[in-house]
Amino acid sequence: MSGLKNIRSALISVYNKENLDNILSLLDEFDVRIISTGGTKSYIEEHGYKVESVENLTSYPSILGGRVKTLHPLIFGGILSRREISSDSQELDKFGIPYIDLVIVDLYPFEETLASGVDDQSVIEKIDIGGISLIRAAAKNYNDVLIVSDRKQYSVLISLLEEKQGESSLEDRKQFATRAFNISSHYDTAIFNYFNSDETITSFKVSENEGKILRYGENPHQRGLFFGDFDAIFDKLHGKEISYNNLLDIDAAVNLIMEFTETTFAVLKHNNACGLASRPKLLDAWNEALAGDPVSAFGGILITNSEVDAETADKINKLFFEAIVAPGYDMAALEILKQKKNRIILILKEKKLPEKLYRTALNGILVQDKDIKTDSIDDMKSVTEKIPTSDEFSDLEFANKIVKHTKSNAIVLAKNKQLIASGVGQTSRVDALIQAINKAQKFKLELNGAVMASDAFFPFADSVEIAGKAGIHSVIQPGGSVRDQESIDYCNKHGIAMIFTGTRHFKH
């Protein structure tokens, strides 16, 4: 093993001291000199180990309420000294600076403090200065120094010390240094984004420490990774490894189901709803959702906002699907759903999702606010002589929630809070409408008295004409076309109610 170096001295200064005693025991066994300060020094002494204070070494006290403790040449000289350069060694001897071979340090919990909602000054006080400086110094000099920058690395350090009897290789030190720079860059990103919350500086900085290599990307020949804490949002109860495409569909499903408060079941395929219904009883919601497109439901993603019972699970189990997401399952339902070993079963926790969306474009990144606008009945402006009935208003609101989460150009047809059919991802709005009508007719779903939702305005009156002839009684759209009046006139002439929301919901 190349570059083996013996650990003779260690600087330890940590905010979180959990499991530190196991490391101290090993360092004591290998007769490592320990230097520390403040609460960490007290912790080491309480556990019966010898420790030298930073203050005694530097002959300088901790000042400014602990803001300045380790920022001293006698500390940083011992970390940054290049052992193979004789002039560095001569300077250390001249100024009485001890070599430091191991640095164990963590950072003040800035992100946790920020998330707790405390005042700005309390957040500022959790911006680490000494710790981040020690991490960068030790990582920079990984040729000679081992840096442990997070307590999650303690177990790796313990295994290393035990296996190599108090020594480390160059490969070991470089790996720990890489982890250290990951910690420091993530920390600085969080601080920058806090200061730049008003986005006055147009700089893109996002950092995720949690990551997972997926089996592949969208296709088997593409590499895929997921960055984020999946377990913060879901409990995975059963099933195969979740794929790249599964994650995209699950993301679309979660964002869609969050629009609904009454008991709702949805089936998604390729990020779009192919079935959705709201009913007082979950089994009825499932049956009506499946009826919307029983063909596309095969191999889809299922999601509901209610606990799944055995009766519903028994019906669901007859269908092949990739994954199911729900806030809970009763025990009998789980037993049924687990009959297929690869079937992914997830519990959705209450977790706020990000309000920014990112995607690559050309040689850069596009960033936008998430479309969190949900048009309610209060947002709806009647623009025709005929006013929708109360049931139609309810269906218009229902359909508009679905079309918001459907790939543009999009048309949604709904009736009695059931998705009858949708036209998805078409290059013209008329094509999307014709696709939806054809699908409804294919599955013999009644269009007479149904409503239509469009994600954007109608540039011509042809869409409302086609819809009216198919039996559509009410239409909801953003409005805003220079030819709006043509659509309004057609609706007035043929007894169709039309609503404008003033909000477009493109989804590309």
**Which candidate, 348, 339, 347, 304, places its Cα nearest to that of 319?**
339
Q: Which of 47, 140, 338, 340 is catalytic?
A: 140
How is residue 363 annotated by DSSP? T
Annotated catalytic, 72?
A: no
CA distance 282 to 263: 6
CA distance 386 to 464: 14
**Which candidate, 505, 447, 432, 425, places its Cα nearest to that of 259?**
505
Q: Is the dihedral of CA 242, 245, 248, 253 positive or negative?
A: negative
Report H helices in 196-266.
244-257
CA distance 34 to 54: 10
Annotated catalytic, 270?
A: yes
Report the relative pairing of strands 497-500 and 474-477 from DSSP bridges.
parallel
Q: Which of 174, 240, 270, 386 is catalytic?
A: 270
DSSP string, 376-389: -GGG-EE-SSSPPP
Assess whether the previous peptide bond of 492 is cis (omega < 30° from 0): no
List all residues 6 or more positions away from 318 whose beta carbon is below 8 Å from its beta carbon.
none
Q: Which two tokens stand for residue 1?
A: 């093993």
List all residues 6 or more positions away from 492 whose beta carbon is below 8 Å from its beta carbon.
384, 385, 386
The long-range contacts involving 207-216, CB below 8 angstroms and separated by at least 24 positions, are 209/182, 209/183, 214/241, 214/242, 214/243, 214/244, 214/247, 215/241, 215/243, 215/244, 216/243, 216/244
**Measured CA distances, 164 to 5, 23, 115 (Å):** 10, 14, 40
Q: Which two tokens stand for residue 476?
A: 């909801």
The total number of residues written for the chain in this structure: 508
Query: Which backbone phi and psi does 183 adopt, to 5 degrees?
Result: -65, -50
How many helices and strands (H and E) does the chain possess?
Answer: 18, 23
459: enclosing H helix or E strand:
none
How is residue 305 annotated by DSSP? S
| Amino acid occupying residue 420 | I
282: enclosing H helix or E strand:
helix 282-292
DSSP string, 90-118: HHHHHHTPPP--EEEE----HHHHHHTT-
Active site residues: 140, 270
